[in-house]
Amino acid sequence: MDKKIWIAMGVIAAISVASLGISIARYQRVPQKEIEVVKPEVPEESAGFKGPVYTGTSNGFLIEFENGVKLYFSGDTALFSDMKFVIGDYYKPDIAFLSAGDTFTMDPIDAAFATTWINPKYAIPHHYHTFAMIVQNASKFVDEVNRHRQNGDTRAEPVVLEYGVERTLDGVKITWLGHGTFLFESPTGTRILLDPWLTANPDTPAEYKNFEDFKKIDLILITHGHLDHWDLDDLKELVRLYNPPILTQYEMALYLQQLGITAPIALMNKGGKITKNLLEQQEITANMPGDMEIMLVHADHSSSPP
């Protein structure tokens, strides 16, 4: 190696060692101050606050009815790619319920775009109108779905439901009770109440706030822990009247048990299917057809009650 290069490398090394020595010396000369940890004052009224309860992550549901019709319920969610590769390409639902209120979920434009990935026969918006900060009607969703359909990007027909008015699609009876709360009745009469937030729900029709008028509830499905999707007092009264099995994510199930819900609660998680036979393996009896399947699927959203 050239002599000049060796000399240059030696100079650089010497400078580096000298700099390190100076740095160490400076560090040693700096007196170490004791760090004072300042604890924030907690107002008296919030002194008992322990933070949100972990109830798992949010999920949707995929229901295959006894007549083969598949219903996808998005739950509260953002637009995410599983809608195409898992829900659309693999499961191929006939009916899709898509949250479209914005602020907390997809907005109407994103929800309409989701139909190009899912490609259902029918697309139904939900989770809007309830509060002032979310979209107040479904017109934008309808316009956007129709535009995608005219462009050949989806086969979906937009369907806007009225509160408390039963609608039958492909043999499944559907009643929207406002926000994310729905009553489904299968072709052979199994009645499924999804996200039972009723008494405090401003869009739930008055006749559905008298729980005895339901006559029969065979299953309750809960998507996540947020308190605009279930209410403890509502749930206790529904359990008292009908004692239906409850299907929800594992952590939410444990939370409901801790709150004193006495109904049979199925333990399940995302990707897992529940059937009548599988419920019986958990020693749970359900009034549902043997060939009905209910699956928890992913949703991109937070969860947990305060």
Examine residue 253 and state whether it is found in any structural domain, yes or no.
yes
Residue 10 maps to a domain: no
Task: Quote the mean pLDDT of the chain.
Answer: 88
Higher pLDDT pick, 2 / 222 = 222
> Tell me, what DSSP letter sits at residue 104?
S
What is this structure's pTM? 0.84
Reply yes or no on whether the pLDDT at 241 is more than 60.
yes
114-131 pLDDT, tens digit per residue, is: 999 999 999 999 999 999
Asked, for residue 17, whether it belongs to a domain, the answer is: no
Residue 16 has pLDDT above 50, yes or no: no
Question: At residue 34, does pLDDT exceed 60?
Answer: no
- The percent helix, strand, coil of the chain (3-state, each to 5) is 30, 20, 50
Q: What sections of 89-169 are H helices per DSSP? A: 108-118, 139-150
pLDDT average, residue stretch 213-228: 97
pLDDT at 76 over 70: yes
Q: Name the pLDDT band for 49 (thresholds 50, 70, 90).
A: low
pLDDT at 22: 40
In which band, very low, low, confident or very high, does the pLDDT at 186 lie, cut at 50, 70 and 90? very high
Per DSSP, the residues of 204-239 read S-GGGSSGGGG----EEE---S-TTS--HHHHHHHH
pLDDT confidence tier of residue 3, bands split at 50, 70 and 90:
very low
Is 23 a residue whose pLDDT tops 50?
Answer: no
Q: How confident is the model at residue 174 (pLDDT cuts 50, 70, 90)?
A: very high
Mean pLDDT of 273-281: 96
pLDDT at residue 284 above 90?
A: yes
Say yes or no to pLDDT of 195 above 80. Answer: yes
Bridge partners (DSSP) of residue 174 are: 167, 184
E strand map for the chain: 59-64, 70-73, 95-99, 122-126, 157-158, 167-169, 172-176, 182-185, 191-194, 219-221, 246-249, 265-268, 273-274, 293-298
**Residues 93, 120 contacting (CB under 8 angstroms):** yes
Residue range 128-135: mean pLDDT, rounded? 92
3: in domain: no
Look at residue 29 and give its three-state secondary structure: helix
Q: Return the residue matching tokens 């009770």.
A: 177
Q: Which of 274, 190, 194, 268 is nearest to 234 (CA)?
A: 194
161 lies in a domain? yes
**Of 306 and 79, the one with more pLDDT:** 79
CA separation for the pair 104, 188 (Å, rounded): 35
Answer yes or no: is 274 within a domain.
yes
pLDDT the model gives residue 48: 57
Nearest to 293 by CA among 56, 71, 57: 71
- The stretch 184-198 carries a mean pLDDT of 98
Our count of domains for the chain comes to 1
Domain assignment present for residue 263? The answer is yes
CATH of the domain at 168: 3.60.15
The answer to whether residue 193 is domain-embedded is yes
Domain that holds residue 232: 59-298
